[in-house]
Chains A and B, each alone.
Chain A
Amino acid sequence: MSEINLEKIDDYRWRIPKSYKPGMRVPGIIYADEKLLKDIRQDKAMEQVANVAFLPGIVKASLAMPDIHWGYGPCIGAVFATDPEEGGVITPGGVGFDINCGVRLLKTNLQYEDMKDKLKELTYALFSDVPSGVGSKGDIRVSAKEEKEILVKGSQWAVEKGYGTQEDLDCTEENGAIQGADPQAVSERAYERGKAQSGTLGSGNHFLEVQVIDQLYDRDACDELNLNLGQVMVMIHSGSRGFGYQVCEDYTRNMVHCLAKYNINVPDRQLASAPVNSPEGKNYLGAMKCAANYAWANRQCLMHLTRMAFERIFNRSWQKLGMFLIYDVAHNIAKIEKHMLDGKEKTLCVHRKGATRALPPGHPALPQRYRKLGQPVIIPGDMGRNSYLLVGQEGAAETFYSACHGAGRLKSRTASARSVNLDSLLKELESRGIIVKASGRSTIVEEAPQAYKDVNQVVDVVHNAGLAKRVCRMRPVGVIKG
């Protein structure tokens, strides 16, 4: 329970003053309404917002999105930027173990009413064709040489193998391959952990969902994206698997030693960091980018397997089924980006840990097709409620063009597992037309809707604060969990 005295800036912004803890270099700002704030106060997430403000070179504020909850190092939902020219640091804790955990959304031209008789068959086919579960290994086997290629080429590697098209790359953040990946900066152990896991979903909160659009908010944006009520969509949530965990672990271990070396004073060693421009900082960035590219290739492979399963069930090509990618976003990543700061353009190291980039209309980093609309921002919810598609807005300039990444956890996994009965949960979901298939029974109860905040409230805050605009809302009908 946090007793921090927050200063109300407006209905959706709350400040942790710099004076809260000696050592804070900037204030903290939490995006939330009063209702969400009550939940946020229940754990130690706000303390973590204050801890991030200690990082050398941090600019403007330590930010937290409305899906904020207690993590390790920074909270989940954290956004912060450091200025490398002012000794700004990079921290593996500000990215997390699952580097480039992210989500992609693809549409279909199917209407739910026309396909619901096949939903069960489809969900079972997806569960059988898309490897999921702890340490799952994929059918998409890669050689050691190919693994190194994946780290540099990302999704491009998958497209060259025939697992997608050029258009998919155009609709992926960084075109599915962030530049500057350095395979030399990756340990042998990371290679070993990553080699069999390409094209696998993983476990925990990762999922593949068949969804249906149940609410349109912005008719013009929906027309531009060709989206209608009742349309069937697919959302894929996964990351860099064991490869990314190992990169984070290697560099956290290394950067704990940098705290003394570079005289960095932080209240939590999980904020272990090094100056962006130091050898350690550069190596981490090079290795982190490898993991990010691994994750993009992984989600590209997962989408390919999904398209193949649809082809099998509906007996039509994925192109004829209209299964085109809307967008793919990373929500655990650090990136070197240009932002305006006090009227000057600065090159900053922006950390997003449980936060999504949200570029506004007209931003030069956007592909031509989204220049007018703004960047699609994909917000997954829980398996029983909703997920959202939004687009970035100019208001997000104050968050280094970032928005939330999901609903945010409310209950611990153990508390959820204690309070939820698996059979009644499955029955309840089924009565609402939701089919769930999971590798482990425990995953379903740990990931039950009750364990999460209501994504509708979280998205309301993001929309009302002007960070991103609601386009449409989906509800799940077929859920694959690890």
Chain B
Amino acid sequence: MKNKSYEIFEHTADIGVRVKGKDLQDLFKNAGLAIFQISSRKQFTRNKAHADIPIKLSANNLEELFVNWLNELLSLSSAKGLIFHNIKINKLEDNALEALAIGSDINNYKVNTEIKAATFHELKITQNEADWQAEVILDV
């Protein structure tokens, strides 16, 4: 299923991603899902088991929280061998987040790109009249 809530913009060495969400929670959810939709595609059903990973984060401000969130997902994905295909944001404030990341075995996926991390470089989070938008550069 293609998530239409993001698009890729040009960066010489890395990947820039522009994400939209109807509210802040939606923005965090869409950004989290986008990094896995960019890097992997479901190809097999070798292991049907799902893993629900609770995530609790705090930060000094919203931008830090956003970068920490994406990096936590990438880090957990690599450490646990999971691709996250669903996310439930349970609580979101400017400096705290509680969520559930739902993943399945990485061996069910063809992973095309290794995203090393999300960066602070040229990070933008903006609230528009009708929605929220974030731009983030991912190190690949």
Residues of A near any B CB (own CB < 8 A): 43, 45, 69-73, 76, 96-98, 133-135, 189, 192-193, 202-204, 242, 245-246, 248-249, 252-253, 256-257, 268-270, 272, 409-415, 440, 442-443, 482
Contact = CB atoms under 8 A, between A and B. Distances in A.
A246 B10 contact: no
Contact of B117 (A135, A248, A257): A248
Nearest to A243: B78
Interface in B79-128: 79, 81, 106, 110-114, 116-117, 119-123
B113 A72 contact: no
Given A72-B139, A203-B113, A249-B71, A256 B13 contact: no
B25 interface: no
Interface in B37-76: 39, 60, 63-64, 68, 71, 75
A272 B122 CA distance: 14
A248 B139 CA distance: 12
A76 to B, nearest CB: 6
Given A97-B116, A192-B79, A249-B71, 18 more contacts: A43-B12, A69-B13, A71-B121, A72-B121, A73-B121, A135-B78, A202-B114, A242-B78, A246-B75, A248-B117, A256-B60, A268-B122, A269-B123, A270-B120, A270-B121, A412-B11, A412-B12, A414-B8
6 tightest A-B contacts by CB? A72-B121, A269-B120, A72-B119, A192-B79, A134-B111, A70-B12
A413 B139 CA distance: 12
A153 B86 CA distance: 41
Contacts of A442: 112-113
A456 B106 CA distance: 40
Contacts of B39: 134
A69 B12 CA distance: 7
B140 A204 contact: yes
A231 to B, nearest CB: 32
Contact of A409 (B13, B79, B110, B139): B13
Given A193-B79, A409-B12, A410-B12, A135 B120 contact: no
A97 B13 CA distance: 13
Contacts of B113: 134, 203-204, 413, 440, 442
Contacts of B119: 72-73, 270
B64 A256 contact: yes
B14 interface: yes
B46 to A, nearest CB: 15
25 contacts: A71-B14, A72-B14, A72-B137, A73-B119, A97-B116, A97-B139, A134-B111, A135-B78, A135-B106, A135-B114, A245-B75, A245-B78, A245-B116, A245-B117, A248-B117, A249-B71, A249-B117, A268-B122, A269-B121, A412-B12, A413-B15, A414-B8, A414-B10, A415-B10, A442-B113
Interface string B1-26: 00000001011111100000000000
Contacts of B10: 412, 414-415
B121 A268 contact: yes
B121 A76 contact: no
Contacts of B15: 412-414
Contacts of A410: 12
A108 B65 CA distance: 51
A246 B74 CA distance: 10
B13 A70 contact: yes
A416 B123 CA distance: 24
A127 B107 CA distance: 20
A187 to B, nearest CB: 9
Contacts of B11: 70, 412
Contacts of A412: 10-13, 15
B32 to A, nearest CB: 16
Contacts of B63: 269
Nearest to A206: B114
Contacts of A96: 139
Contacts of A73: 119, 121
A43 B137 CA distance: 14
Most central of A193, A202, A410, A415 by chain B CB within 10 Å: A193
Nearest to B60: A257
Nearest to B68: A253
Contacts of A256: 60, 64, 120
Contacts of A415: 10
B7 to A, nearest CB: 10
A242 B39 CA distance: 15
Given A70-B11, A249-B75, A272 B120 contact: yes
A97 B12 contact: no
Contacts of A70: 11-13
Contacts of A192: 79
Nearest to B111: A134
Contact of B75 (A43, A71, A193, A414): A193
Contacts of B111: 133-135, 440
A192 B121 CA distance: 27
Nearest to A256: B64
Most central of B10, B68, B113, B114 by chain A CB within 10 Å: B114
A72 B118 CA distance: 10
Given A256-B64, A270-B120, A134 B13 contact: no
Contacts of A409: 12-13
A76 B13 contact: yes
A443 B111 CA distance: 11
